[in-house]
Amino acid sequence: MTPRSDAQQASIIREGLEWSRTYGQRSAAAFLLFRKVPRAVVERILTAACRREDQAP
C-alpha cells in the first residue's frame, strides 16, 4: 500500500467533515475509519468540529 500524499489525506478529511454535516458524527467517523484514517486523527477532527459548531453564533 502506498502512503497518501498530504493533498489526498486533506481531501478525505474534507469529505469526512462534509459527511459529518450531512449524516452525523458517528457516520462520519465510520466513513473516515473505513478510508483508513487513524482513529486518533478522527477523534481530533470530530472534537475540533464539535467545538467550532458550539462556538458558532
Q: Most distant CA pair in the chain: distance in Å?
A: 43
Residue 6 pLDDT: 85
Cell numbers 467533515: residue:
17
Residue 1 pLDDT: 59
Does residue 18 fall inside a structural domain? yes
Q: How many domains does the chain have?
A: 1
- Sequence-separated (6 or more) residues with CB below 8 Å from residue 50: 25
Does residue 2 fall inside a structural domain? no
Does residue 3 fall inside a structural domain? no
pLDDT band at 56 (very low <50, low <70, confident <90, very high): low
For 42-54, what is the mean pLDDT?
80
Does residue 1 fall inside a structural domain? no
Tell me the percentage of the chain whose pLDDT exceeds 90.
47
- Sequence-separated (6 or more) residues with CB below 8 Å from residue 15: 31
